[in-house]
Amino acid sequence: SNTAWTWEHQAMTRARLLAPRLAADAAAPGGAAAEPAFDLSARFQAVRHAVLTAPRDHAALRAEIIAMRERLQAAHPVRAGLFDLKHSPGGMIEAEFATQYLVLAHTREHPELEPNLGNIALLIRAEQVGLLPAGVGQGAADAYRHLRHLQHLARLDEQSTQIDPATVTEQRAAIQRLWQAVFTPASRA
């Protein structure tokens, strides 16, 4: 895991295995004993655990995630006067990246962050274990849920996900508070 890029580690925070345990045949051809089944799930969980609990330089991780956020923002321009549910400051990407940082930086000390429960549950857990100020995790979780709902509605209706920012003022502010709590040097989450 030390040779992987940060974005690959971020992906592991969200990774889920969708394969059953592979069963062995009762016997191999010729009556020989079958090899034991290979438990892909156990191997996947072991690799994921090793990645999520690896010691990390928090400042370097923070800087890499901020730089990635800036690259994504530059790659997804938003029309003037609009808010992109995913890519604008205070949008879903900021909540997702903050959650991924918290998982990568703190799962070693807080194993309750290891299960892939989704961003909403992980933000609430991060607040519960003291990694976020009171109300910030829950507020960001509620905001993220609302933005995801709007994104799903827009996609179902084949509409743009760039909307009037006034319709999501509270949600943007909640996610910006999360971003500040995690990525501002004074907070040092």
Query: Is 38 part of any domain?
Result: no
C-alpha to C-alpha distances, 174 to 92, 115, 124, 186, nearest whole angstrom: 11, 24, 13, 18
Which domain covers residue 114, as residue numbers? 57-183
In CATH, what number is assigned to the domain containing residue 157?
1.20.120.330
Structural domain total, the chain: 1
pLDDT at 1: 43
pLDDT at 31: 60
Q: At what angle do helices 92-106 and 169-183 cross, to 10 degrees?
A: 30
| Residue carrying the six token digits 């909640």 | 174
pLDDT at 35: 58
Q: Where does residue 153 rank: exposed (0-12), middle (13-18), buried (19+ CB within 10 A)?
A: exposed
Query: Is 175 part of any domain?
Result: yes
How do beta strands 162-163 and 83-84 pair?
Answer: antiparallel
Instruction: Give the number of residues written for the chain.
Output: 189
Non-local CB neighbours of 154 within 8 Å, separated by 6+ positions: 85, 160, 161, 163
Buried b (16+ CB within 10 A) or exposed e, 125-150: bbbeeebbeeebbbbbbbbbbebbeb
Query: Is 28 part of any domain?
Result: no
Single pTM value for the model: 0.85
Mean pLDDT taken over the chain: 89
CA–CA dist 112, 89 (Å, integer): 28
Query: Is 50 part of any domain?
Result: no
Query: Is 138 part of any domain?
Result: yes
pLDDT at 118: 95
**Cβ atoms 5, 32 nearer than 8 A:** no
Query: Is 40 part of any domain?
Result: no
**Could you tell me which of 105, 104, 106, 142 has the C-alpha nearest to residue 121?**
142
Query: Is 95 part of any domain?
Result: yes
**162: which 2 tokens?**
């760039």
Report, as ranges of residue numbers, the positions in the chain whose pLDDT lies below 50: 1
Non-local CB neighbours of 87 within 8 Å, separated by 6+ positions: 72, 73, 76, 78, 93
pLDDT at 23: 55
Query: Is 83 part of any domain?
Result: yes
